[in-house]
């Protein structure tokens, strides 16, 4: 198979490419049988995308192939933002790149920006045209200009690829609604409710309160259509090769616009089968591997980031195997949820256990580490582990939610529930990092002691994310301790979805205050910058470092050890409400990275919510 030869490709490259194509072909056949026409169509799509790939991006591909671990390097720091909330438009973002760089950021996740009907957009996750930018945000040309400028500055760009569903306004959906069988076959259409009802017996609900059920009646087609998320998000049927082909084409279109990282949105859901829970089915892994191979052929510098928000055991398989990898990166979702559990319980045993499991994984696996993102916090914790301490799932979720919404006596947190499902006792949680850490309450009550504590916790959580191997991501606004935005309650298009609580506009006045001594913004922003610089300066933060759980002798204090090429780091995090002293069971004389002071291994003092990075060379 010589069709994807590029001028100047070496023999070795051609052999490699042929191997990739032949594996792709084999996997394609395993899903779609001997559908020769569909395969030829796919080949054609790959060929077109390959020849249409701009030279500049090809050069970037080559650079990245020479440094395949570029995204795991310790100089990488990400930020996730909504274009409209951050700077209004794509051009606005371009103008604000200096600010982004001033945050130390060189990886930018732009939240969904493709065309999506207002009021039925699920924050942009209901795409009606995969090749058109939302009018209010700009144009495809603006996107290309932004990615180009980002690349010039060494910033990589991540974009969502919402592949599980389209908006009901997408052309395919419109044609399906009008009765065109070819397009109905791209979705899951049923003449009546009998099969949908069978599905409902085994398929859980994603939005039990805001969008109950997994199917919707489509009056115009006079049929029932599968809608796992909102009723206006129609699930695509990847059992149909035309869907895979067309969506691959859409993905490659974005890659050729300079998108470096494709976030595979809701990827566990992309294959459905009656009698199953329609999540994480084996075919999903085949599809992801196929997408990885497609990228290796056309845009080998592109990364796949899997959005797998699932119970712990389901997440890691999306890395695939070392020989046959699937996603390059996955969200460290269980760690994120375990962190908030620890904030609420002040007991680090679960987090210690969870991190111990992460540290035991091969170093090739790269996690995207984060504290907050645009979504709610779902309580997907290791309940089997918690049951050892007689902690049961339903009452525990209630406790976490009570604490983090500030209902629990003495809790400074201010969050709101999300998709409260009283049947299952399964509410999730929303709020910004600062509000959940207590900054909002402390500021409103002018309680300086509480504020100091809350800011310490906020900083410690960021320090924890910066301590882990992988790619740390800031959620835009968090660098300024931005609080909840309650304004969404008054917006009829948003009021039902409490995730808007933490999707407020970036407050540029607050950003200016980051340069004013003594302000809350200044206190957090600069402390965070100091940590980022330390991470940059010390090789112990390299992703190749050995990592372990360091004992602290106190269940309120988490200890993490790292070692790499003569540098050893012990990171301590006091989740307790009081100041305390711990000892570390490590040889060597340690110095505090932030203050440069020597420390006594037998007695390390930690204020409430404080963290320490201790380093020792040998």
Is 455 a binding residue for ligand GLC by CB under 6 A? The answer is no
SS3 assignment, position 459: helix
Instruction: Note whether 375 binds ligand GLC by CB under 6 A.
Output: yes
Angstrom distances, CA of residue 4 to CA of 15, 35, 51, 242, 370? 11, 21, 9, 21, 38
Minimum distance between the CB of residue 123 and ligand GLC, rounded to whole angstroms?
6
State which residue, 211 or 480, has the beta carbon closest to ligand GLC: 211
The three-state (H, E, C) secondary structure of 29-57, written as one string: HHHHCCCHHHHHHHHHHHHHHHHHCCHHH
End-to-end alpha-carbon separation of the chain, Å? 53
Cα atoms in the 13 Å half-sphere on the side-chain side of 302: 31
Backbone Cα Rg of the chain: 24
Q: C-beta of 392: minimal distance to ligand GLC in Å?
A: 27
Catalytic residue from among 265, 376, 458, 610: 265
Q: Is 125 in the site for ligand GLC (CB under 6 A)?
A: yes
User: For every residue of 189-245, which 3-state class applies, written as one string?
Assistant: EECCCHHHHHHHCCCCCCECCCECCCEEEECCCCEEEECCCCCCEEEECCCCHHHHH
Q: Between 36 and 75, how does the x/- string for binding to ligand GLC read (CB under 6 A)?
A: ----------------------------------------
Q: Which is nearer to ligand GLC, 49 or 111 (CB)?
A: 111
Is 242 noted as a catalytic residue in this protein?
A: no
Known catalytic membership, residue 73: no
Tokens encoding 373: 């993102």
φ/ψ bin of 609: left (φ > 0), alpha (ψ from -120 to 50), beta (otherwise): left
> Looking at beta carbons only, is 126 or 582 nearer to ligand GLC?
126
Distance CA 110, CA 143 (A): 10
**Alpha carbon distance 39, 137 (integer Å):** 36
Which range in 121-129, 405-413, 450-458, 521-529 contacts ligand GLC by CB under 6 A? 121-129
Give the nearer residue to ligand GLC in terms of CB position, either 69 or 375. 375
**What minimum distance in Å lies between the beta carbon of 278 and ligand GLC?**
14
Between CA 565 and CA 567 the distance in angstroms is 6
Q: How many residues bind ligand GLC (CB under 6 A)?
A: 10
Q: Which of residues 177-206 bind ligand GLC (CB under 6 A)?
A: none
Tokens of residue 226, six digits:
């599968």
Give the interface segment with ligand GLC, choosing from 117-125, 185-193, 510-518, 601-609 (CB under 6 A): 117-125
- Pick 333 or 593: Cβ nearer ligand GLC: 333
User: Of 232 and 453, which has the nearer Cβ to ligand GLC?
Assistant: 232
Min separation Cβ 317 and ligand GLC, Å? 18
Cα dihedral 284, 285, 286, 288 sign:
positive
Q: Any idea what the Cα angle at residue 239 is, between residues 275 and 5, rounded to 5°? A: 145
Which residue, 418 or 564, is less far from ligand GLC as judged by CB?
418
Nearer to ligand GLC, 229 or 379 (CB): 229
Window 218-247: contact mask with ligand GLC (x via CB under 6 A): -----------x------------------
In whole angstroms, what is the distance from residue 471 CA to residue 261 CA?
Answer: 12
Pick from 68, 61, 75: nearest CA to 106: 75
Within 306-335, which residues bind ligand GLC (CB under 6 A)? 307
Closest contact distance (angstroms) between CB of 236 and ligand GLC is 12
The Cα–Cα gap between 287 and 583 comes to 49
Q: How far is the CB of 286 from ligand GLC (least distance, A)?
A: 21
CB of 216 to ligand GLC, least distance (A): 15
Q: Counting contacts by CB under 6 A, is residue 564 touching ligand GLC? A: no
H or E segment at 119? none
The residue (of 236 and 558) whose beta carbon lies closer to ligand GLC is 236
Q: Check: CB of residue 211 under 8 Å from CB of residue 230.
A: yes
Single out the catalytic residue among 296, 307, 440, 483. Answer: 307
Smallest separation (angstroms) from ligand GLC to the CB of 77:
21
Q: What character string, x for contact with ligand GLC (CB under 6 A) and - otherwise, covers 261-300?
A: ----xx----------------------------------
Among 122, 242, 326, 485, binds ligand GLC (CB under 6 A): 122
The answer to whether residue 169 forms part of the interface with ligand GLC (CB under 6 A) is: no
Of 24, 45, 162, 615, the residue at the interface with ligand GLC (CB under 6 A) is: 162
Cβ-count burial of 185 within 10 angstroms (0-12 exposed, 13-18 middle, 19+ buried)? Answer: middle
Q: Rounded to an integer, what distance in angstroms lies between the CA atom of residue 193 and that of residue 225? A: 10
- Contact between 163 and ligand GLC by CB under 6 A: the answer reads no
Binding site for ligand GLC (CB under 6 A): 122-123, 125, 162, 229, 265-266, 307, 374-375
Active site members: 265, 307
């Amino acid at each position: 198979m010589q069709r994807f030869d590029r001028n100047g490709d070496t023999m070795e490259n051609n052999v490699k490419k042929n191997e990739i194509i032949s594996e792709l072909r084999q996997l394609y056949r395993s899903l779609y049988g001997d559908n020769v026409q569909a395969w030829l169509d796919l080949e054609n799509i790959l060929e077109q995308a390959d020849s249409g790939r701009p030279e500049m991006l090809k050069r970037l591909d080559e650079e990245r192939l020479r440094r395949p671990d570029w995204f795991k390097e310790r100089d990488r720091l990400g930020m996730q933002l909504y274009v409209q909330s951050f700077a209004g438009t794509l051009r606005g973002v371009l103008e604000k790149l200096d600010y982004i760089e001033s945050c130390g950021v060189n990886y930018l996740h732009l939240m969904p920006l493709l065309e999506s009907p207002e009021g039925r957009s699920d924050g942009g996750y209901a795409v009606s045209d995969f090749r058109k930018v939302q009018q209010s945000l700009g144009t495809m040309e603006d996107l290309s200009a932004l990615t180009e400028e980002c690349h010039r500055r060494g910033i990589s760009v991540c974009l969502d690829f919402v592949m599980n569903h389209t908006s009901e306004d997408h052309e395919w959906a419109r044609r399906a609604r009008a009765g065109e069988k070819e397009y109905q076959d791209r979705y899951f259409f049923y003449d009546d409710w009998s099969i949908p009802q069978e599905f409902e017996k085994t398929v859980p609900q994603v939005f039990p309160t805001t969008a109950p059920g997994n199917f919707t009646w489509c009056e115009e087609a006079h049929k029932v259509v599968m809608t796992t998320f909102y009723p206006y998000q129609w699930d695509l049927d990847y059992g149909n090769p035309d869907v895979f082909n067309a969506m691959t084409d859409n993905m490659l279109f974005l890659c050729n616009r300079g998108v470096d990282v494709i976030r595979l949105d809701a990827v566990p859901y992309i294959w459905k089968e009656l009698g199953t829970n329609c999540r994480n089915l084996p075919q999903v892994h085949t599809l992801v591997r196929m997408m990885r191979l497609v990228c290796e052929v056309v845009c080998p510098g592109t990364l796949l980031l899997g959005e797998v928000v699932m119970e712990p055991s389901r997440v890691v398989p999306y890395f695939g195997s070392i020989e046959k990898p699937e996603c390059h990166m996955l969200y460290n979702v269980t760690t994120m949820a375990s962190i908030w559990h620890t904030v609420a319980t002040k007991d680090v045993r679960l987090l210690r256990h969870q991190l111990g499991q992460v540290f035991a994984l091969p170093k090739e696996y790269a996690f995207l580490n984060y504290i907050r993102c645009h979504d709610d916090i779902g309580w997907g914790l290791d309940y089997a582990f918690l049951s050892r301490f007689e902690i049961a799932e339903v009452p525990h979720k209630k406790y976490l939610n009570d604490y983090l919404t500030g209902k629990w006596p003495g809790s400074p947190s201010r969050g709101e529930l999300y998709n409260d499902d009283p049947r299952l006792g399964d509410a999730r949680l929303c709020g910004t990092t600062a509000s959940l850490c207590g900054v909002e309450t402390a500021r409103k009550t002018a309680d300086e002691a509480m504020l100091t504590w809350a800011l310490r916790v906020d900083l410690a959580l960021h320090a924890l994310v910066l301590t882990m191997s992988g790619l740390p991501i800031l959620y835009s606004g968090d660098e300024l301790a931005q609080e909840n935005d309650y304004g969404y309650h008054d917006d009829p298009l948003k009021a039902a979805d409490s995730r808007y609580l933490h999707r407020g506009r970036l407050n540029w006045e607050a950003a200016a205050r980051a340069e004013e001594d003594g302000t809350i913004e200044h206190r957090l922003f600069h402390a965070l910058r100091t940590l980022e610089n330390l991470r940059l300066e010390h090789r112990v933060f390299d992703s190749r470092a050995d990592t372990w759980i360091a004992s602290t002798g106190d269940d309120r204090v988490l200890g993490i050890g790292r070692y790499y090429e003569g540098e050893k780091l012990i990171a301590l995090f006091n989740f307790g409400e009081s100041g305390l002293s711990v000892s570390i069971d490590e040889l060597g004389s340690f110095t505090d990275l932030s203050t440069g002071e020597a420390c006594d291994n037998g007695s390390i003092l930690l204020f409430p919510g404080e963290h320490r990075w201790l380093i020792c060379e040998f």
